[in-house]
Chains A and B, each alone.
Chain A
Amino acid sequence: MIIDQKKIDETIKIIKANGGHGIQKCVQCGACSAICPGVKAGFPLLCRALIKDLLNGQLEENIENSSSWGCQACNRCTEVCPQGVRPQEVVFAFRRYQANELAFSTSSVTSQMNLYETGHAVFTDPKEARRKVGLPEETPTSAFNEAAQQEIRTLMDNSPMGELGLF
């Protein structure tokens, strides 16, 4: 790895502009990775490891890395971080950078499409399960509400996400 200050400065600027304001506070203690469900699941470039690469200016090099999409947004990292880095915000800032560059992981494209179509990023048909436990088959959410779905589509079409041209 070549250490290039211009790349470091550019990376930190982009991450901060996308919401990862605390990235430079990181002392690489590893507490975030210790509790991260994504790290446990085996995503190699999450939390501490991702922050380290970004601090080394490795932004473009990691653009295709799908680990960031393994973040479940549980935010435990923010709770345990002793330096106030708010690691999840750094991970999300990196995701935003990836999204802006249209570097989605396939798993995330599916979620976006689900969201666009049903209002849920993760959606499985609940009818049978609900019937078994005696609940109404349809959930009182956007999944079964055409008007709500239309509202969500309108919002997404008019948000920066719409500009990505996924839908």
Chain B
Amino acid sequence: MAKVGVYVCHCGSNIAGVIDVSAVRDFAESLPDVVIARKDLFMCSDSGQEMVKQDVRDGLVDRVVVAACTPRTHEPIFRAAIEKAGLNKYLFEMANIRDQASWVHGNDHEGATEKAKLAVASAVGKARYLHPLHDKFVDVTNAALVIGAGIGGISAALELANMGHKTYLVEKEPSIGGIMAQLDKTFPTNDCSACILTPMMVQAFNHPNIETLAYSEVADVDGYIGNFNVKVRQKQTYVDWKKCTGCGDCADKCPSKTPDLFNGGLSDRRAAYIMFPQAVPKKAVVDIEHCINCAGRTIGTQPKINEKTGKAILAPCERACRAGAIDRSLPLDPGGTIKEIKVGSIVVATGYQVMDKGWFKEMAPASPNVITALQLERLISATGPTGGKLLRPSDNEKPHTMTFVSCVGSRDVNFHTHCSRFCCMYMIKQARLLKEKYPDLVINMHFIDVRSAGKGYDEYYTGAREMGINFFKGKVGGLEMLPGDQLRVLAYDMEAGQSIEYNSDLVILATAVELPPDATSLAQKLGLQFCGNDFFRELHPKLGPVETAVAGLFIAGCCQGPKDIPDTVSQAKGAAAAAAVPLAQGRVKIEATISEIDSQKCSGCGICEPLCPYHAISMRDYTDRARGVIERHAVIEMSSCKGCGVCTSACPSAAIKLHGYEDEQIYAQIAALTA
């Protein structure tokens, strides 16, 4: 016979303001096996918990039911309390009479009280059949993976590496650095982006605990917290990086041109190229899609022989390379090489992209003088296509009047409803830098409103006004192309209540921040979820900002939502700290409330396997020596199982038991609710 103790919480007026707590307590006392029913103003307070503990210590109760708020936040507290008093922590059940009764039936006191009684009866019914369960532990691989090597990924990797954990840093581009490497200067201090980023890149690349896998992508992930198996595809560079010195001679000699995406397509690069001057690693790659196979040197073929000299006829890139790093006779390998690594935790910091101007037909995307703000970064950067001179793309003339347009694709139900958060600040930064350099330049900025939340940000903004930069409240409605490569700006000044028009030489669009298209396939590989259509979903919007629904998988930076550099670095360090927890512990706890398969009952039908949302179930063959047959059974990897119960309810042989939610427990709940 179970000895159930029921403890009903007032939760101040949260519960007692609607529910007759005394009536619920009286009712609980009448339930079978209930030996004690008490109530308290705040059950989660020290005194409330002490009351439960004392009853356990006195041997009065051996099953505990707390009728209070949500188990999501409070179950761990009460479980810990009864465990401390000497009771197995799984001999506990919670009835949520706050969220499910008092809060939702605030105008029906009687009904809410009756519903609370039912919830208590159900919890008591289940509690009578609870039995002790025990947490399990698995060992952890002491290594971490950071996906994406922008400022977020680099910060996370350095943090993990400095804590002593082996860290793999995977970057899809030939160089680490991410979008921050494309920026000219950074708000609100105007320090040079490359000057503060490059040392971080070098530090990460040279760190003894960091293995940088540039020009690589995550191909496949399986496993679970503590023990992930990751396949990384290292793309073929067509240049032997062990020999490449980063001199750039191959790029100088390569005749094939393609738009340089690092410069936002404002200039060309060669098919053989080094991503940017401060690239880390500073290594060349041959972009095989744009390689024109000079001298008939298709990759993987032997060179033709010059009949006169008897020497091999080589491609310009091969000839140019003094280190002998380019050998086009090596086989073509578009799949790249797969490197398998084992890690205990993963940080995803894959960043963002900005929308292309082509989406915005009203913004004259056909004009070369309409560019995105990221393109302007390259236009004003010393390493950019103009060497840092502000020249408009159509004719390389210096513009006299320029226009900044905010919220292009952001805060717009047609594209993205979110605010991209850092556009206001980078536009003000760009305007300030340009006004400092070219005092005669007319700069008109158009905002729905200026969002400058951050330390030193609003001062930076108001300072821009005093510099003579014009601010207009009101979104630009459209741009019209004029002869002479100018644009007619159709805007509105809400503060003056008048429409405004003028001719502009260069228009900057602050296009929305969004996830790049390959984020979707990465999310599928990792089990990441999305917030609506926008960004990767964190575990809890306030209290779990770096965790995800997958244990051991963490997110940081703009892939979680738009944020500026300081916020990205903060979140990356937070994610690294969280990702280090299982590594530092050396083992991870597996909650006991997970599913278990009775192999005697399992028919091997395989229905459960595809249903498992956590990929915890696999089918394995067993040799039954006694009978001389091979049998197929489902196996649950306990460290991946979340205890959702989908497999349990789907199994036609009733072979799967979900601990803590067993049949007799659930039947008892149903019986109590329908009595």
Contact = CB atoms under 8 A, between A and B. Distances in A.
Given A4-B502, A5-B401, A5-B442, A83 B462 contact: yes
Most buried by B among A3, A4, A28: A3
A24 B495 contact: no
B493 interface: yes
Contacts of B499: 1
Contacts of A55: 470
A9 interface: yes
A81 interface: no
Interface string B458-498: 00011001101010010000000000000000000101101
B493 A1 contact: yes
A122 interface: no
B444 interface: yes
B135 interface: no
A24 B500 contact: no
Contacts of B462: 25, 27, 83
B498 A1 contact: yes
B465 A2 contact: no
A48 B473 CA distance: 13
A52 B498 CA distance: 11
B496 A49 contact: yes
A1 B496 contact: yes
Contacts of B496: 1, 49, 52-53, 56, 58
Nearest to B497: A49
A31 interface: no
Nearest to A9: B468
A24 B468 contact: yes
A58 B470 CA distance: 14
Given A5-B401, A8-B470, A24-B468, 13 more contacts: A1-B493, A1-B498, A1-B499, A2-B502, A4-B502, A25-B462, A25-B465, A48-B495, A49-B495, A52-B495, A56-B470, A56-B493, A83-B462
Contacts of A3: 444, 470, 500-502
Q: Which residue among A27, A49, A58 has the maximum number of chain B CB atoms within 10 Å of its CB?
A: A27
A9 B493 CA distance: 18
Contact of B465 (A5, A9, A26, A56): A26
A76 B470 CA distance: 27
Interface in B374-398: none
Contacts of A83: 462
Contacts of A24: 465-466, 468
Interface string A1-42: 111110011001000000000001111100000000000000
A56 B502 CA distance: 12
Contacts of B493: 1, 52, 56
Contacts of A28: 473, 495
Contact of A2 (B442, B473, B501): B501
A63 B444 CA distance: 25
Nearest to B491: A3
Contacts of B468: 9, 12, 24
Contact of A25 (B401, B466, B498): B466
A25, A28, A49, A53, most chain B CB atoms within 10 A: A28
B500 A1 contact: yes
A2 B473 CA distance: 16
Nearest to A27: B462
Interface string B497-541: 011111000000000000000000000000000000000000000
